[in-house]
Each structure stands twice: as C-alpha cells, then as structure tokens.
Amino acid sequence: MVDDGGSIRVRTRHAELGLEEIASLLPGTGEIMASVARSFGSAWHAVEAGNWELAAYFVRRVQSQLRALAVVRPRYRAQLEAFRQEALLPLLDAIGRRDRAAFEPAYEAAVAQADRYHAETGHPYIRWRRPPHPPETFV
C-alpha cells in the first residue's frame, strides 16, 4: 500500500488502484440481492428434493450475502439483522430438524417480511415469490 500524501493506492499483481477505484468495484445492492434471491429460492427447491443439507447451505449463504450487504449499505443494517433473526434463523431451525411442516410457513413468513422491507425502502415492486422451477445445477 502506498500513501502519496492524500490518496492511498493499493498494489495488486496486475495494477495499482486507489480506494475509490476499489470501492467502485464492490457489488451494488441489486447484484447482491439477485444472488440472495437465487440462494433463497434454491433453498426451497432443495427442501422439495429432500436435500436438507443443501437447503441449509443456501440459507447460510443468504446470511453471508446479507452480512456483505450490511457492510456496503449500512443504512439497511437493522432490517437485515431483524430479517436474520426473525426469518432466517427459524428456517435454519426447521431445516436442522428436517421439519417440512415448520419449514413451509417459515419460508412464507420470510417472503412476506422481505416484501415488507422492500416496500418500506421504496421498492414495493420487488416481491419475492417461490420460484416455480429449481435451478438447473443445484438440486
């Protein structure tokens, strides 16, 4: 790392980048949420297929993706933590018990909570739905 008196530059094997250049490469909310949606829908289909371990993997992946979103968009931090506590932990509990009867309403409650948060943040047109088909490569 080089500090030339005001602008910090970071050297990689291929380039020397300023912090603003590095920050511009971070994924935006839309990119992160598209990945969250794929993982969340994949969890549903993993349970449908009886692959509880894969479902747990995808819900944990959602948690990780939302932690990253909280770093790059701190204004959403409180909602993201509430979603983790109120929606994702009950899903993981149901998955851990392999309890389909508990998983389905927990999944639907998570979808409803996500839709509320999207509306509260000015994006009411973003509505989560259970994907009709599993992703080709996951289940």
- Pairing verdict, β 2-3 and 16-18: unpaired
Helix crossing, 89-96 with 100-120: angle to 10°?
170
Q: What pTM did the predictor assign?
A: 0.84
**d(Cα 133, Cα 75) in Å, to the nearest integer?**
33
- In order along its 139 residues, the chain shows pLDDT tens digits of 555 545 788 888 998 988 888 888 888 888 999 999 999 999 999 999 999 999 999 999 999 999 999 999 999 999 999 999 999 999 999 999 999 999 999 999 999 999 999 999 999 999 998 888 877 665 4
Q: Give the model confidence (pLDDT) of 56-79 as tens digits.
A: 999 999 999 999 999 999 999 999
Angle at 51 between CA 27 and CA 104, to 5 degrees: 80
- List alpha helices for 50-120, DSSP H: 52-72, 77-83, 89-96, 100-120
66 vs 81: CA distance, rounded Å:
9
